[in-house]
Structure 1
Amino acid sequence: MGSTLMATTSILLCSGLAAVISSTYSVKKPLNDTVYGAHGEFMVALKYVTLLTIFLFSFLCHSLSIRFINQVNILINSPQDDTSLVTTAYIAELLEKGYVLNTIGNRLFYAALPLLLWIFGPVLVFLCSVTMVPVLYNLDFVFNGNGGSVSKGKTVNGNDQSIEFV
């Protein structure tokens, strides 16, 4: 469901950006020139095309993630034979590909948020980037109760830096 929501959001933002890019009225200066940042014709086009490209790649990653996870949902119910090409390792590999693509799509979407504010100037980009660093850090690392952190299947103890695989 998360991949479907993010894919839908990405393609809606792409449609909105495409409508702004191809509009007949002039969107050359979204704010007046008192805000720092380049608002020339080339820079505005570069900003919109960069955003459109990132949102399209995010949509592609989420769509492929949906495809892999749906394939896993079908294959997980197939009977296991010795002669079958569908093995548990193959199904686990497809599931991992689906989740990796979902993570990449989310990262692209999150990276596009500061770039979306880039249209209005560099100050908002800086503030959004500073805010996104702790948010993404908390998404990457989960802290357990004894002071260590769990990251990507490993437990790192804060005292002696030993690594235990979970």
Structure 2
Amino acid sequence: MEKQELDYVLVPLGIGLMVAYHFWLLFRVISQPTKTVIGINAINRRLWVRTMMKDFKNAVLAVQTFRNNIMVSTLMASTAITLSSLIAVLMTNGSLIHDSQTLFIGNKSDLNNSIKFFSILVCFLLAFLMNVQSIRYYSHANILINVPIAKNRAVAVNYVARALNRGGYFWSIGLRAYYFSFPLFLWVFGPIPMFVCCVVMVFVLYFLDVNTDGGGGEDQVWMDPDDDEGEC
């Protein structure tokens, strides 16, 4: 196999491995939420909203919590758009790319280099958009969580919890976009570092995403007994 052909083999394998892992994680979150960190966090966010809305004395704590979440999402969005601008500058200066690839094998054509940096740019733009959506839902929930509850208590609590969870989901997707940018960045230095990074990252993400304490018959322990919808 020629050195230039490594990009056509290792790069699709690495990206396919990352995509396959996240499809497996999505299925796991839907079917067995208590066996994933994302699922447990979603369930506990619903319980947290219910607790905050039961007593108006928790209003300050709830607002401070949302403020912290909004600040984190704002930082992530700002970082993503800054990195996007940096990648756009690098795309216009091809000499930097060729100088950095002298020690690595793989396809070094101008078209391939443009694809590499465009892929990284897409990841950062996706991270920016997801974090902006996260701020949107956090802002909605920040107002709604302090609305007085009348007869429609269950509807109000479920709606606020759903908004909070959507903000958390968008934040998680934005973070995953950052994760995808690491192997794509190493692709600049060749397909071998990119593929190795994909394999290592899948193992690291598995230990970060999988919960070994809950699951099985303990699923009901994490659920709110007053929650009629039973959704994350």
TM class, shorter-length: 0.7 to 0.9
1:164 is aligned to 219
Question: Are the aligned partners of 1:3 and 1:66 in contact in 2 as well (CA < 8 Å)?
Answer: yes
In the alignment, which of 118, 129, 132 is matched to residue 60 of structure 1? 129
Q: 2:82 is paired with a residue of what secondary structure?
A: helix
% identity of equivalent residues = 36
Name stretches of at least 5 consecutive residues in structure 1 with no aligned partner.
145-149, 157-161
1:147 is aligned to none
Question: Are the aligned partners of 1:28 and 1:41 in contact in 2 as well (CA < 8 Å)?
Answer: no
Structure 1 residues 90 and 35: alpha-carbon distance in aligned structure 2, compared to 1, 3 A threshold:
same
Say which is worse superposed, 1-10 or 70-79, in terms of deviation. Answer: 1-10
Q: CA deviation at 1:132?
A: 0.7
Q: CA deviation at 1:31?
A: 2.9
2:74 is aligned to 4
Which residue identity does 1:6 align to in structure 2? M
Q: CA deviation at 1:2?
A: 3.2
In the alignment, which of 126, 134, 157 is matched to residue 195 of structure 2? 126
2:92 is aligned to 22
Q: Which has the higher helix share?
A: 2
Which residue identity does 2:178 align to in structure 1? F
Deviation sequence 1:63-115 (CA, Å, 0-9, x none):
1101111211111011123479x811111111111111111111111011110
Say which is worse superposed, 50-59 or 25-34, in terms of deviation. Answer: 25-34
Per the normalisation by structure 2, the TM-score is: 0.59
In the alignment, which of 83, 108, 113 is matched to residue 13 of structure 1? 83
Question: Are the aligned partners of 1:20 and 1:27 in contact in 2 as well (CA < 8 Å)?
Answer: yes
Question: Are the aligned partners of 1:14 and 1:56 in contact in 2 as well (CA < 8 Å)?
Answer: yes
Deviation sequence 1:15-73 (CA, Å, 0-9, x none):
110111234x6345143455211110111111111111111011100111011112111
Write the distance in 2 (CA, Å) between the matches of 1:128 and 1:17.
Answer: 20
Aligned pair count reads 150
Q: Which has the higher relative contact order, 1 or 2, with Cα contacts under 8 A spaced 6 or more apart?
A: 2
Q: CA deviation at 1:119?
A: 0.7
Structure 1 residues 112 and 32: alpha-carbon distance in aligned structure 2, compared to 1, 3 A threshold:
closer
Question: Are the aligned partners of 1:30 and 1:120 in contact in 2 as well (CA < 8 Å)?
Answer: no
